[in-house]
Amino acid sequence: MSEALWADRLRPGTEAGLPPTWTVRPATAAELTALRVRLRETLRDGGRPAAATDEEVEWLLLAFEELASNALRHGRPPVQVTLRTGADGWLLEVTDAAPDQPPAAAIGRDPAGGGLGLHLVARVASEHGWTVRGSRKQVWARIRFTAAATDPSVPPPRSGGSPRDRTPQGR
Protein backbone atom coordinates (compact mmCIF):
# COMPACT_ATOMS: atom_id res chain seq x y z
CA MET A 1 0.00 0.00 0.00
CA SER A 2 1.22 3.46 -0.73
CA GLU A 3 1.88 6.40 1.54
CA ALA A 4 -1.15 8.12 -0.05
CA LEU A 5 -3.48 5.56 1.55
CA TRP A 6 -4.59 8.27 3.97
CA ALA A 7 -4.63 11.39 1.85
CA ASP A 8 -5.42 14.91 2.99
CA ARG A 9 -9.01 15.30 1.78
CA LEU A 10 -12.13 16.93 3.06
CA ARG A 11 -14.80 14.71 4.50
CA PRO A 12 -17.93 14.03 2.44
CA GLY A 13 -20.34 16.94 2.54
CA THR A 14 -23.61 15.03 2.66
CA GLU A 15 -23.41 13.92 6.29
CA ALA A 16 -21.57 17.02 7.49
CA GLY A 17 -24.84 18.92 7.86
CA LEU A 18 -26.47 16.17 9.90
CA PRO A 19 -26.56 16.51 13.67
CA PRO A 20 -24.26 14.17 15.57
CA THR A 21 -25.79 10.79 16.39
CA TRP A 22 -23.17 10.06 19.04
CA THR A 23 -20.26 12.08 20.46
CA VAL A 24 -17.66 10.99 23.02
CA ARG A 25 -14.40 12.42 24.33
CA PRO A 26 -12.14 9.54 25.38
CA ALA A 27 -9.15 10.53 27.49
CA THR A 28 -7.39 7.16 27.74
CA ALA A 29 -7.04 4.02 25.64
CA ALA A 30 -8.54 2.06 28.53
CA GLU A 31 -11.86 3.86 27.98
CA LEU A 32 -12.16 2.71 24.36
CA THR A 33 -13.38 -0.82 25.10
CA ALA A 34 -16.20 0.50 27.28
CA LEU A 35 -17.08 3.11 24.67
CA ARG A 36 -17.11 0.48 21.92
CA VAL A 37 -19.53 -1.61 24.03
CA ARG A 38 -21.65 1.50 24.59
CA LEU A 39 -21.73 2.25 20.86
CA ARG A 40 -22.73 -1.36 20.10
CA GLU A 41 -25.54 -1.11 22.68
CA THR A 42 -26.69 2.23 21.23
CA LEU A 43 -26.90 0.65 17.78
CA ARG A 44 -28.66 -2.44 19.12
CA ASP A 45 -31.20 -0.44 21.16
CA GLY A 46 -32.92 1.33 18.28
CA GLY A 47 -29.99 3.39 17.01
CA ARG A 48 -29.19 1.10 14.08
CA PRO A 49 -30.61 2.16 10.73
CA ALA A 50 -32.69 -0.52 8.99
CA ALA A 51 -30.32 -0.48 5.99
CA ALA A 52 -27.25 -1.36 8.12
CA THR A 53 -26.12 -4.99 8.22
CA ASP A 54 -24.42 -6.77 11.13
CA GLU A 55 -21.19 -6.71 9.12
CA GLU A 56 -21.40 -2.94 8.66
CA VAL A 57 -21.96 -2.48 12.41
CA GLU A 58 -18.75 -4.47 12.99
CA TRP A 59 -16.91 -2.30 10.44
CA LEU A 60 -18.10 0.84 12.23
CA LEU A 61 -16.97 -0.52 15.60
CA LEU A 62 -13.58 -1.43 14.15
CA ALA A 63 -13.17 2.03 12.59
CA PHE A 64 -14.19 3.67 15.89
CA GLU A 65 -11.65 1.75 17.95
CA GLU A 66 -8.78 2.06 15.46
CA LEU A 67 -9.18 5.78 14.71
CA ALA A 68 -9.85 6.75 18.33
CA SER A 69 -6.91 4.71 19.65
CA ASN A 70 -4.62 6.28 17.02
CA ALA A 71 -5.73 9.75 18.10
CA LEU A 72 -5.02 8.91 21.74
CA ARG A 73 -1.62 7.33 20.99
CA HIS A 74 -0.28 9.63 18.31
CA GLY A 75 -2.31 12.83 18.64
CA ARG A 76 -2.78 15.34 21.42
CA PRO A 77 -5.75 15.80 23.72
CA PRO A 78 -8.52 16.52 23.70
CA VAL A 79 -9.74 13.73 21.41
CA GLN A 80 -13.33 13.83 20.22
CA VAL A 81 -15.22 11.16 18.29
CA THR A 82 -18.40 12.10 16.44
CA LEU A 83 -20.70 9.73 14.58
CA ARG A 84 -23.25 11.01 12.08
CA THR A 85 -25.88 8.79 10.50
CA GLY A 86 -27.11 9.49 6.99
CA ALA A 87 -29.55 7.68 4.73
CA ASP A 88 -26.75 5.74 3.07
CA GLY A 89 -24.21 5.25 5.84
CA TRP A 90 -22.24 6.51 8.80
CA LEU A 91 -19.62 9.21 8.92
CA LEU A 92 -17.14 8.72 11.77
CA GLU A 93 -14.96 11.73 12.60
CA VAL A 94 -12.11 11.69 15.11
CA THR A 95 -10.38 14.95 15.99
CA ASP A 96 -7.36 15.75 18.11
CA ALA A 97 -5.08 18.71 18.77
CA ALA A 98 -2.12 17.50 16.69
CA PRO A 99 -2.67 19.04 13.24
CA ASP A 100 1.04 18.61 12.48
CA GLN A 101 0.86 14.80 12.80
CA PRO A 102 -1.08 13.29 9.88
CA PRO A 103 -2.24 9.69 10.04
CA ALA A 104 0.58 7.44 8.85
CA ALA A 105 -0.30 3.92 7.79
CA ALA A 106 2.34 1.28 8.53
CA ILE A 107 4.43 0.74 5.40
CA GLY A 108 7.16 -1.86 4.95
CA ARG A 109 7.21 -3.28 8.45
CA ASP A 110 6.38 -6.64 9.94
CA PRO A 111 2.61 -6.91 10.60
CA ALA A 112 3.44 -8.58 13.92
CA GLY A 113 4.58 -5.16 15.13
CA GLY A 114 1.06 -3.74 14.82
CA GLY A 115 0.22 -0.47 13.18
CA LEU A 116 -2.17 -1.91 10.60
CA GLY A 117 -5.31 -0.18 11.91
CA LEU A 118 -5.37 2.48 9.21
CA HIS A 119 -5.08 -0.25 6.56
CA LEU A 120 -8.05 -2.06 8.11
CA VAL A 121 -10.16 1.08 8.24
CA ALA A 122 -9.27 1.90 4.63
CA ARG A 123 -10.38 -1.60 3.66
CA VAL A 124 -13.84 -1.42 5.28
CA ALA A 125 -14.62 2.25 4.60
CA SER A 126 -16.12 3.42 1.33
CA GLU A 127 -14.21 6.68 1.78
CA HIS A 128 -11.63 7.90 4.28
CA GLY A 129 -9.20 10.72 4.76
CA TRP A 130 -8.03 13.49 7.00
CA THR A 131 -7.71 17.24 7.02
CA VAL A 132 -6.80 20.12 9.31
CA ARG A 133 -9.51 22.44 10.54
CA GLY A 134 -8.10 25.31 12.55
CA SER A 135 -5.96 23.83 15.31
CA ARG A 136 -7.52 20.36 15.03
CA LYS A 137 -6.68 17.32 12.92
CA GLN A 138 -9.81 15.60 11.64
CA VAL A 139 -9.56 11.95 10.57
CA TRP A 140 -12.70 10.46 9.09
CA ALA A 141 -14.13 7.27 7.62
CA ARG A 142 -17.42 6.70 5.86
CA ILE A 143 -19.14 3.32 6.19
CA ARG A 144 -21.85 2.95 3.54
CA PHE A 145 -24.80 0.64 3.99
CA THR A 146 -24.81 -2.11 1.38
CA ALA A 147 -28.58 -1.79 0.98
CA ALA A 148 -28.12 1.91 0.18
CA ALA A 149 -25.30 1.13 -2.27
CA THR A 150 -27.62 -1.07 -4.29
CA ASP A 151 -30.61 1.30 -4.06
CA PRO A 152 -30.77 3.49 -7.19
CA SER A 153 -32.45 6.30 -5.22
CA VAL A 154 -29.33 6.76 -3.05
CA PRO A 155 -26.54 8.73 -4.75
CA PRO A 156 -23.14 6.99 -5.09
CA PRO A 157 -20.23 8.05 -2.87
CA ARG A 158 -18.12 11.02 -3.87
CA SER A 159 -14.75 10.45 -5.49
CA GLY A 160 -11.75 9.65 -3.34
CA GLY A 161 -13.17 6.46 -1.86
CA SER A 162 -11.39 3.23 -1.28
CA PRO A 163 -10.92 0.61 -3.99
CA ARG A 164 -13.87 -1.28 -2.55
CA ASP A 165 -17.08 0.21 -3.91
CA ARG A 166 -19.11 -1.45 -1.17
CA THR A 167 -21.46 -3.18 -3.55
CA PRO A 168 -22.25 -6.85 -3.05
CA GLN A 169 -19.89 -7.68 -5.93
CA GLY A 170 -17.05 -5.85 -4.13
CA ARG A 171 -17.08 -8.15 -1.14
Find the mean pLDDT for residues 134-158. Answer: 72
Mean pLDDT of the chain: 81
Structure confidence at residue 15 as a pLDDT band (50, 70, 90):
low
pTM recorded for the entire structure? 0.79
**pLDDT score, position 149:** 52
Q: 3-170 belongs to which homologous superfamily?
A: Histidine kinase-like ATPase, C-terminal domain (3.30.565.10)
Find the mean pLDDT for residues 6-35. Answer: 82
**3 state SS for the chain:** CCHHHHCECCCCCCHHHCCCCEEECCCCCHHHHHHHHHHHHHHHHHHCCCCCCHHHHHHHHHHHHHHHHHHHHHCCCCCEEEEEECCCEEEEEEEECCCCCCCCCCCCCCHHHCCCHHHHHHHHCCEEEEEEECCEEEEEEEEECHHHHCCCCCCCCCCCECCCCCCHHHC
Residue-range domain boundaries for the chain: 3-170
